[in-house]
Amino acid sequence: MEALSSVPSIVFGLFGALLFVTFFGLKISIISGAATLSLLNLPVLVRMTEVALRTVPESYWEASLALGSSRWQAIRKILLPSAMPGMITGVTLVAGRALGETAVLIYTAGTTASRQFPDLDPLAMGGTLAVHLWYSGSSSLAPDAGSIADGSAALLVLIILVFNLVIAIPGRIIQKRLTGGK
């Protein structure tokens, strides 16, 4: 897993283009980009979940089993609630990485979004805010490209901040509920 975590995202983008766009015939589309982003972020999420589960003290598990709970009850009532903060952190990190990713999406989802609103076709091309930022920052087609890139960057930072808050606040509430209000 560590080897896959260290692969640059542009290599995943090329792999996703080869696998999903060419081999599976999904063309450059939102579904190709989503599948490639999943492959990119899966090793990080698996590793974070594994670390979160391993950090639960062994004594919690032993005490639960000693009190007569079944293995499934110990997993559901002790192991998962104790590991939940680490797993929520992993989901937050992976989602933040996906929100800011450009290299993977340029090769698999495209750089332009549909002009139709709402376009719910997963096989259509789609551009994300991070891709728009890259495209407007590297393009000199518009006279105010720098201002557009600055605005896109500010909006992307705000969206990621709001996303982190939306994940963190319910995560703490769930943690307090599952662990008895610690």
Q: What is the pLDDT of residues 70-94, one digit of tens each?
A: 999 999 988 988 888 889 888 888 8
| pLDDT band at residue 23 using 50, 70 and 90 as cut-offs | very high
CB 135 within 8 A of CB 118: no
| pLDDT band at residue 50 using 50, 70 and 90 as cut-offs | very high
Statement: residue 182 has pLDDT above 60: no
What's the chain's average pLDDT?
83
CA–CA dist 29, 36 (Å, integer): 11
User: CA 138 → CA 23, 100, 147, 148, 171, distances in Å?
Assistant: 30, 16, 12, 11, 38
* pLDDT value of residue 10: 87
C-alpha dihedral (119, 121, 122, 126), degrees to nearest 10: -40
Domain covering 2-127, topology: MetI-like fold (1.10.3720)
Better-predicted residue by pLDDT, 1 or 72: 72
pLDDT cut 70: percent of the chain above it: 91
* pLDDT value of residue 49: 94
pLDDT tens, 98-131? 877 878 888 888 777 666 777 777 777 777 777 7
pLDDT tens, 136-147? 776 666 677 778
Residue ranges covered by each domain of the chain = 2-127
CB 124 within 8 A of CB 29: yes
145-179 vs 80-99: helix axis angle to the nearest 10?
170
